Amino acid sequence: MVKKGYFGNWGGAFIPEVLHQTFAELEHHFKTAQADPAFWQEYVDLMSTYSCRPTPLTHAENLSKHFGGAQIYIKREDLNHTGAHKANNVMGQGLLVKRMGKTRVIAETGAGQHGVATATMAAKFGFDCTIYMGEVDVQRQRPNVFWMEKMGATVVPVRDGSRTLKDAINEAFRDWVTNVDTTHYVFGTACGPAPFPEMVSWFQSIVGNEAYEQMRIQHGKNPARIYACVGGGSNAMGIFGRFLEEEGVELIGVEAGGKGVETGQHAARLCGNDASPGVAQGYRTMFLQNDDGQMLETHSVAAGLDYVGVSPILSDLWEQGKVRFTAATDQEVMDVLDLTMKKEGIIPALESAHGFVQAFKDAPEMSTDEGIIINMSGRGDKDIFTIAHAFDDPSWKEFIVQRAREYSK
Amino acid sequence: MQLEQHLRKSLEHKDILLMTHIVLGYPSFEVNREVIRQMVDNGVDCIEMQIPFSEPMADGPVIMKANLDSLAIGTRVEECLAFGKEMAATHSIPFLYMTYYNIIFKYGEERFIEACTEAGITGLIVPDLPPEQSEIFFRHARERNIAPILIYSPTSTHERMKELDDSGSGFIYCVARRGVTGKKSDLDEDFTSYLQRCRAATSKPLAVGFGIQSADDINALRGIADMAVIGSQTIRLVDEQGPEAVGPFIAELRG
C-alpha cells in the first residue's frame, strides 16, 4: 500500500510539530471539498465569472506552417485573470480558506504571478495578505511587486540564502508556524508537504479538462504530445492530469536549462545529472543539492523556474517513465519568444517559453495531421524589463533613462 | 534510556537542568570548542550541537544566519561528526545532534546513527521529522540506544502528545510557543496550563525551549519543567562579546 501523501517514493509531509494539527485540518477540509460536487461547481462558476475560464485553445496556424510539421495548439492560461494559471490554484484555496474560517493568507512567489494571484484573491475575499519574495526576484519582477502592493498585500523581500523562491518558501513557513491559528499558507505549486501537491494539482486539473474537450472539437482527436514548462510543476500537472491515462499522448516537461545543463548554472532536476533524492521544504523529491545534502544555487532567466526541487508527483511520473523531461536554455527561450511574438502576436512568459522551445524542436519531425498542445502558463508582459534588457532594446533603454531623470529631479 | 537515566540522575541534586545549543562551525570549530568548555565548566547539563543545513525552516534569524555563515566557510557533515566525537570524549555531559532530516537522509539513516554511536552521541533532535515519516530512522535509533527527541508544541492535542511519547525517548522538547527560535516567549498562565498538558501526556523529563533567555525565565520554569534550553541567546552573546562571555552568562543563569 502506498503511504498516505506519497507518490511512489516521493512526497510525504516533513513538517514541524507546531503545524501537525493545521495540516490535519487542511487535509480534512480538502478531502471533504474533493468529495463534494457542489464545491467543484462553485469553483468552476467562480473561475468563469471572476476569471476567463475556460481559457481558449489557440491553433497557431502560422507557427504550424512555419515548421511544416505538427499542428501547434496553445492553451492560453495567459488569458486567465492575473495573467497565468496561478489563479486557478489560488482561487480554489481561497474557497477552502473560507471554509476553514481563517482570516489571513500568506504566500511565497518567484516570478510574482502567484503573489499577484494571491493578493487578488485576498482582496476579493477580504483576507489580510503577506507575500514573501526573494530579493533577487523582487528586482527582476518589479511590476508584479507594484500590483501586489496596490491590491493591499504586504510584500516582504527575503534576503537570506540565494534570495530566490526556495528562500521565500522557508520564510513563509516561518510566518506560518508563528501565526498558524489565523493564517493559511497558499502554497503556489504542486510541491511542499502533503496534501499540497495533490491539492494544487487538483485545482490545476481544470486546465487539462478544458484542453481535452477543446482538442476533440478543434482537432478532432487527442494531441500526440503535450508540452509544459516545469518549475515546481503546477501548470504541467494541470495540463497533464487529464491525459495521463490516455493512450498515445506523450507528455513532455521542460525544465530551465539556464546557461546549459552541463554548466551547473540551471534548474534541471529531472533531465540532468545534478539532482538526487532529498527531503526539504517539507517533502521528498529530486533536489539540486551537494553530497552533504545542502541545496545548490540554481539559475534561470525565468524566476518561476529557478527552484531546487520539483513536484513529488512529477518525480514519480519521471521514475515510471510516464513523462519525458528535457531542458531549454536561456538563449533558446529568447529566440522562441521573438519568433512567437512575430508569427502569432502572442507573448509567452519567460517560464512558458521553455515549453515552446521543445515543441518547436519536435514539431518539424511530426506529420501535419498530428496535433500538439503547448501549455502557455502565463503572459510575458510581466517580464518586460527582463525581456527588453535581453533584447538590448534601444528605444526602451532611452525611455527608462528619461523616466529616471524625471524621477530624480 | 541512557540519556533519560543520565538526566534523571542529575535531577536528583538540581531542581532544573540546563541544555545549551551551538551551531557547528559557527563562527569556527575553534570557537565552538571554547564555548563548550565554558558551558561545561559552568554547569550546563546537556548540549545540542546543530549540524548546519542550508534550509533551516524552523529557525529564526540568529540561528539561521549561523547556519548559512557556517556553510559559507565550508563546514562539512564529516567535520561536524568528528567534532562531536571529540566533544563527547572530552566532556562527561551528554551531547546531542540537532539537524534537519535531509542531512541524515543524505548521509544514510542507518550510517548516520552508526556514526552517532561511534561518536558517543546520546540523542538526536530533528525538527522536520515527525515519527510517521521514517520508520527506519526511529527503529535504528532505538536499536542503537540513541534517543530520538520528539517535540511538543502548544498546538499539539493530547492524543498527538501520547503518539509522540510512544515514538520518542530521552526527554520531550516542549516548544514554548508558536513560531521559530530566538524570539522572547511569555511564560504566562496559558504556558503553565500547556506544560501541565505536556506533563499529563508523558512521564519523560520535559525540556522547554524557544525564547528562554534569562535567569528570570529559568526561575519561571522551576517546578514545572525539568530542563531549560538556551539557544539563540548564547549565539548572540558570542557574536557581540566573544566566547569568553559565555561562562559568566551560564554561571548567572545557574544562579
Give contacts of A293 with chain B, Cβ < 8 Å: 53, 77, 102-103, 105-107
Give contacts of A15 with chain B, Cβ < 8 Å: 128, 130
CA–CA dist A60, A365 (Å, integer): 17
Dihedral sign (CA A381, A382, A386, A388):
positive
Record: contact B153-A20, CB cut-off 8 A: yes
Residue B87, min C-alpha distance to chain A (Å): 22
Residues B33-76 have pLDDT tens digits of 999 999 999 999 999 999 999 999 999 999 999 999 999 999 99
Secondary structure (3-state) at A78: helix
What is residue A14's predicted lDDT score, i.e. its pLDDT? Answer: 98
Task: For residue B143, give the H/E element and its range.
Answer: helix B135-143
Dihedral class, residue B57 (left if φ above 0, else alpha if ψ from -120 to 50, else beta)? alpha
Residues A70-119 have pLDDT tens digits of 999 999 999 999 999 999 999 999 999 999 999 999 999 988 999 999 99
Of the partner residues B55, B133, B180, the one whose CB lies closest to the CB of residue A178: B180
Q: Which of A77, A108, A171, A255 is catalytic?
A: A108
Dihedral sign (CA A54, A55, A61, A66):
negative
Residues A279-324 have pLDDT tens digits of 999 999 999 999 999 999 999 999 899 999 999 999 999 999 999 9
Annotated domain spans of chain A: 14-48+85-196, 53-83+205-389
Q: Is the pLDDT of residue A1 over 60?
A: no
| Number of domains composing chain B | 1
| Cross-strand partners of A276 | A287
Residue of A nearest to B151 (CA): A17
Residue A320, min C-alpha distance to chain B (Å): 22
Residue A291, min C-alpha distance to chain B (Å): 7
- Rounded to a whole number of angstroms, the distance between the first and last alpha carbons of chain B is 29
| Chain B residues within 8 angstroms (CB to CB) of chain A | 53-58, 60, 64-65, 68, 71, 76-77, 100-103, 105-107, 127-130, 133, 150-157, 160, 164, 175, 178-180
Is residue A65 within 8 angstroms of chain B, CB to CB?
no
The enclosing domain of B13 has a CATH number of: 3.20.20.70
ipTM: 0.96
What is residue A159's predicted lDDT score, i.e. its pLDDT? Answer: 93
Is residue A14 within 8 angstroms of chain B, CB to CB?
yes
CA A366 vs. chain centroid, Å, equals 28
Does residue B130 have a cis peptide bond before it, meaning omega lies within 30 degrees of 0? no
Residues A166-210 have pLDDT tens digits of 999 999 999 999 999 999 999 999 999 999 999 999 999 999 999
Of the partner residues B102, B150, B157, the one whose CB lies closest to the CB of residue A278: B102
Of the partner residues B64, B100, B160, the one whose CB lies closest to the CB of residue A20: B160
Record: contact B160-A12, CB cut-off 8 A: no
Name the nearest CA neighbour of B212 among B173, B172, B182: B182
What is residue B1's predicted lDDT score, i.e. its pLDDT? Answer: 55
Of the partner residues B60, B105, B128, the one whose CB lies closest to the CB of residue A293: B105
**Considering chain A, what percentage of its residues have pLDDT values greater than 70?**
100
Question: Are A56 and A86 contacting, i.e. CB atoms less than 8 angstroms apart?
Answer: no
Asked about A406 being catalytic, the answer comes back as no
Question: Are A10 and A312 contacting, i.e. CB atoms less than 8 angstroms apart?
Answer: yes
Name the grid cell of B98: 540537532
What is residue B137's predicted lDDT score, i.e. its pLDDT? Answer: 97
Q: What is the CATH number of domain A53-83+205-389?
A: 3.40.50.1100
State the average pLDDT for chain A.
96
Of the partner residues A21, A166, A177, the one whose CB lies closest to the CB of residue B55: A166
Residue of A nearest to B106 (CA): A293
What lies within 8 Å, CB to CB, of A347 at 6+ separation is A78, A337, A340, A341, A379, A380, A381
pTM for the complete prediction? 0.96
List, for chain B, all residue ranges whose pLDDT scores fall below the cut of 70: 1
Q: Is the pLDDT of residue A344 over 70?
A: yes
- Rounded to a whole number of angstroms, the distance between the first and last alpha carbons of chain A is 68
- Cell 551551531, residue? B23
Please identify among residues 135-194 of chain A the ones whose CB lies closer than 8 Å to any CB of chain B. 160-161, 166, 170, 173-174, 177-181
What is residue A351's predicted lDDT score, i.e. its pLDDT? Answer: 96
Residue of A nearest to B175 (CA): A18
Residue B254, min C-alpha distance to chain A (Å): 29
Record: contact A279-B151, CB cut-off 8 A: no
Is residue A298 within 8 angstroms of chain B, CB to CB?
no
Using CB atoms within 10 A of its CB, is residue B214 exposed (0-12), middle (13-18) or buried (19+)?
A: middle
CA–CA dist B10, B255 (Å, integer): 17
Domain with B98, as residue range(s), is 2-254
The predicted model gives A242-255 an average pLDDT of: 97
What lies within 8 Å, CB to CB, of A386 at 6+ separation is A140, A301, A350
Asked about A201 being catalytic, the answer comes back as no
A69: how many CB neighbours lie within 10 A of its CB?
18
Q: Is the pLDDT of residue A161 over 90?
A: no
Give the mutation candidate from A106, A284, A294, A307 for the B interface (greatest B CB count, under 10 A): A294
Of the partner residues B64, B157, B178, the one whose CB lies closest to the CB of residue A177: B178
Record: contact B157-A21, CB cut-off 8 A: yes
Name the grid cell of B99: 539537524
Name the nearest CA neighbour of A69 among A342, A369, A355: A369
Q: What is the CATH number of domain A14-48+85-196?
A: 3.40.50.1100
**What is the per-residue DSSP string for A255-300?**
EEEET-TTSS-SB-SSSSSSEEEEEETTEEEEEEB-TTSPBPP---
Record: contact A13-B133, CB cut-off 8 A: yes
Record: contact B57-A174, CB cut-off 8 A: yes
What is residue B80's predicted lDDT score, i.e. its pLDDT? Answer: 98
The residue with greater pLDDT, A163 or A131, is: A131
State the average pLDDT for chain B.
96
Of the partner residues A178, A291, A295, the one whose CB lies closest to the CB of residue B178: A178
Residue of A nearest to B154 (CA): A18
Name the nearest CA neighbour of A370 among A19, A73, A82, A104: A73
Instruction: Provide the annotated active-site residues of B.
Output: 48, 59
